[in-house]
A = this chain, B = another copy of it.
């Protein structure tokens, strides 16, 4: 096992906060500021899209990027972290405002129809992914 593989094997998220803890913190935070009135599902969806746009802006001029962002400065990594966090916070709030139990749906989806859209079908692999060095980024 080389160093990268070891790192991949070792990398983990922190166990907390859970999705429910994030939801609960947001809920209290927004209630205190009287923001519930503005947080309709469509408003939160547009807020989510705005944050995804900010994430895209960080990556837009970067060309291929390797796993672990090895060519990013610490400041750039921090910037990516914050935008990922903003996307998640808005996603959790959107699910909350839809009154949909996001974690249980994720569990069901992973178990029963796992990730049908998050990689090319095996049969298409040879066509889509020619073994060019740049392709695998």
Interface residues, chain A, with chain B CB atoms under 8 Å away: 7-8, 11-20, 22-26, 29-30, 33, 35-43, 45-57, 59-69, 71, 73, 77, 80-82, 84-91, 93-110, 114-115, 117-120, 122, 127-130, 132-137
The residue from B84, B98, B110 contacting A98, defined by CB atoms under 8 A apart: B84
Most buried by B among A16, A38, A71, A86: A38
Closest to A97 in B: B67
Are the C-beta atoms of B12 and A136 separated by less than 8 Å?
Answer: no
Are the C-beta atoms of B63 and A137 separated by less than 8 Å?
Answer: yes
* Interface residue SS majority, chain A: helix
Instruction: Give the chain B neighbours of A81 by CB distance below 8 A.
Output: 100-102, 105
